[in-house]
Amino acid sequence: MIPGSPPTSAAPLPRGICILGSTGSIGTQTLDIVRLFPDAFHIRSLTAHNSVDLLVEQAMEFRPECVVVSDPGGYGPLKDALQGTGIRVLAGAEHLAHASTLDSVDVVVAAVVGAAGLAPVLEAVRSGKTVALANKETLVIAGEIVRFHAERSDATIIPVDSEHSAIFQCLVGEAMDTVEELVLTASGGPFRDAPLEALASVTPEEALAHPNWSMGPKITIDSATMMNKGLEVIEARWLFGVSADRIRVVVHPQSIVHSMVTFIDGSTKAQLGVPDMKVPIQYAMTFPERWPAPHERLDWESLSKLDFSPPDLERFPCLRLAYEALHIGGSAPAVLNAANEVAVDQFLKGRISFTDISFAIEEAVGRLASPEPQDLERLMEVDDLARNLVVELNRRTHH
């Protein structure tokens, strides 16, 4: 899981690939990487929620063994469109784990958004696959459980999230007991400098306009509230086994330094690059090797300065809430995540205001979080309770 003793060689080529969430922002960029190395990567399975047309297009191009739509309503159209191709078609969320555990799959790229990614990722980990993990929510909900199973099965989890990829790259060749602090950089999103009193009335369109990255809608809103960085702190805690008091967040508006590690001798290593998710996606798929690729390079002629400042927790209460959830432990991060997923959805649908997002999460954590260690079943129950509570809170305020 951590790069202390990296495998000396990666899985043999061609490498079998499953993409969970192939129709999204990370999923489609993963296919761009596969197009760059068609002899090295072979797509074995693809999944989507309900974007049937795009999934069909991808299946016709990459000819996987199997495709899965988690929305059962997608079955008919998908089956019809792939008639005669020999590609197996499955529908329903319970089949996502089929795609991620096929014998022919070596690397699972986990690019589903939200808690829906947990089950198929956990099954992939249990069956010892290499998991290139973009779906941070999985580690937020059940980091300890995923870690436990990864150690048992010898599964390798390689981060795709740019900050964690940066830290992972800084850690190659280093011993974990020489790490003093992880430093996660954050752009601060579109409202970094907006007047505080304006935040209550920002629109979904304004919140969706991220200054540096083009991503799916949920993570883009998370970036605007900085809950994304909060989820990333929790993700880092479980990926690298470093406690929260040694994970710092620094606002860096240019998104050029993707994150850093400070070691016990006072040295700090950073990983830099143009903001382009293809670089960390490719690294996760080729680790422990690096393969040549034409991704955009930093331009030292035009790059004039890099700014850093501490995050403003009054402006971004979600970041504070994430640290608090990690401190509480137990079910708190799962409650935080579920409440956030529902609140973000409600904000995108225009049902609650931007500042209501953090209120809903704080309320849910306050009412439902327990510090006791939780098994998976209990975490799923509490995920459900938190979702219902946030829906109910909104109903009460608006009637």
Q: Residue 30 Cβ, how far from ligand NAD at the closest point, in Å? A: 9
Q: Is 278 in the site for ligand NAD (CB under 6 A)?
A: no
Residue from 123, 161, 341, 383 in contact with Mg ion (CB under 5 A): 161
- Determine if 219 is a binding residue for ligand NAD (CB under 6 A): yes
Q: Find the shortest distance in angstroms from Cβ 110 to ligand NAD.
A: 8
Q: Residue 347 in contact with residue 221, Cβ under 8 Å?
A: yes
Q: Which of 43, 111, 119, 338 binds ligand NAD (CB under 6 A)?
A: 111
Q: Among 116, 125, 171, 184, indicate the residue that binds ligand NAD (CB under 6 A).
A: 116
Give the one residue of 108, 277, 281, 285 binding ligand NAD; rule: CB under 6 A: 277
Closest CA relative to residue 268, chosen from 253, 287, 290, 248: 248
What is the per-residue DSSP string for 115-182?
GGGHHHHHHHHHTT-EEEE--HHHHHHHHHHHHHHHHHHT-EEEE-SHHHHHHHHHHTT--GGGEEEE
Of positions 51, 185, 271, 337, contacts ligand NAD by CB under 6 A: 51
- Phi-psi bin for 94: left (phi > 0), alpha (psi -120 to 50), beta? alpha
Contact at 8 Å (CB) between 31 and 19? yes
| Of 3, 16, 24, 189, the one binding ligand NAD by CB under 6 A | 24
Q: Show the CA angle centred on residue 347, arms to residues 342 and 349, nearest 5°.
A: 95
Give the contact letters, 130-159, x = binds to ligand NAD (CB under 6 A), - = no.
Answer: ----xxxx----------------------
Stretch that binds Mg ion, among 23-31, 156-164, 263-271, 389-397 (CB under 5 A): 156-164
| CA distance from start to end of the chain | 48
- Amino acid identity at 204: P
Q: What is the C-alpha to C-alpha distance for residues 369 and 379, in angstroms, rounded to an integer?
A: 10
- Cα dihedral sign, 287-288-292-295: positive
Indicate whether 137 belongs to the interface with Mg ion (CB under 5 A).
no
By CB under 5 A, residue 222 contacts Mg ion: no
The token duo for 216 is 């799916």
In this structure, what token pair is assigned to residue 191?
């409202």
| Tokens representing residue 273 in the block | 């690059």
- Residue whose CB is less far from ligand NAD, 99 or 105: 99
17 binds, among Mg ion, ligand NAD, none (CB under 5 to 8 A by kind): none
The interface partner of residue 43, options being Mg ion, ligand NAD, none and the CB cut-off 5 to 8 Å by kind, is: none
Per-residue mark of binding to Mg ion, 75-114 (x: CB under 5 A): ----------------------------------------
Q: Is 387 in the site for ligand NAD (CB under 6 A)?
A: no
Q: Which residues bind ligand NAD (CB under 6 A)?
A: 21-27, 48-49, 51, 70, 93, 111-113, 116, 134-137, 161, 213, 215-216, 218-219, 277
